[in-house]
Amino acid sequence: MKEMEPTRYDIPPDLQGQVAITTLDKIYNWSRRNSLWPLMYGIACCAIEMICTAASRYDFSRFGMEVMRPSPRQADVMIVSGTVTKKMVPIIVRLYNQMPEPKYVVAMGACASGGGPFKEGYSVVSGVDQYLPVDVYIPGCPPTPQALLHGLISLQKKIDYQSLKKVRWYQKGHDSVDLPVPVLGPDLMDPRDYAAIREYAEQKALALEAQAAQNQPSAQEVKA
Ligand code: SF4
């Protein structure tokens, strides 16, 4: 725990050294930052570095993160460790929706942060932040275990400065609305755009029909 800042409350001399006065924010953030439970999953080569960071040599249990959960219902950090393909992104968003709040996302590596070496590839999403709110980006291909540890420590620092009054999940009227899960058709589609996509598809079909009718040879042309 960080050293307590001096407060304007005086502690009686007989209680000094036994009682400390701090804010609710500090206690709450301290307990949360030191017990982050990552979701146990990996999607590409960066996951190997994540596994290595969890193993004995780097050992992120030193930061209270050793309890990697195989269920999103029990996890509060999603480390997106690898290339986010269009096929995988609906599953990743669904897993994120299943995590309880407060929850955080770490984009590990060039692929998760912006597409990496596969950017603009036909099957790859150019950054998971197009679908999830990312808290920390870690550069590298792959990032080393030290880089992942640095990213996780950066997340802890971010939590240190959060306030119960301001975080979105404690706002009055905040309803934990699920993020829209994209659907993979000919390309990724946002379900909120269905009406517009359907209208566009209908217009396109009508235009094609009209064009085909125009190009059809007349009966005279066929006879000739
Ligand atoms: S950033 Fe590099 S190491 Fe990580 S998933 Fe992409 S290609 Fe693999």
Mean pLDDT score of the chain: 89
107 φ/ψ angles, rounded to the nearest 5 degrees: -90, 105
Tell me: pLDDT of 110 over 80.
Answer: yes
Count the Cβ atoms, other than its own, within 10 Å of residue 145: 19
Q: Is the CB of 48 under 6 A from ligand 1?
A: no
- Arithmetic mean of pLDDT, 181-210: 85
Q: Are 123 and 139 in contact (CB under 8 A)?
A: no
Q: What is the pLDDT of residue 188?
A: 84
Q: What is the pLDDT of residue 129?
A: 94
Give the strand pairing for 183-184 and 188-189: antiparallel
Q: Is the CB of 112 under 6 A from ligand 1?
A: no
Total residue count of the chain as it appears in this document:
224
Q: How far does the centroid of ligand 1 lie from the alpha carbon of residue 194, in Å?
A: 33
Q: How far does the centroid of ligand 1 lie from the alpha carbon of residue 108, in Å?
A: 9
Q: How far does the centroid of ligand 1 lie from the alpha carbon of residue 135, in Å?
A: 19
- Arithmetic mean of pLDDT, 113-117: 92
Q: Is the CB of 39 under 6 A from ligand 1?
A: no
- Arithmetic mean of pLDDT, 52-64: 91
Instruction: Give the residue from 113, 124, 102, 118 showing the smallest Cα distance to 79.
Output: 113
- Terminal Cα-to-Cα distance of the chain (whole angstroms): 93
What's the pLDDT tens digit per position in 139-189? 999 999 999 999 999 999 999 999 988 888 888 877 777 888 988 888 888
Q: Is the CB of 142 under 6 A from ligand 1?
A: yes
Q: Is the CB of 117 under 6 A from ligand 1?
A: yes
Task: Name the pTM for this structure.
Answer: 0.82
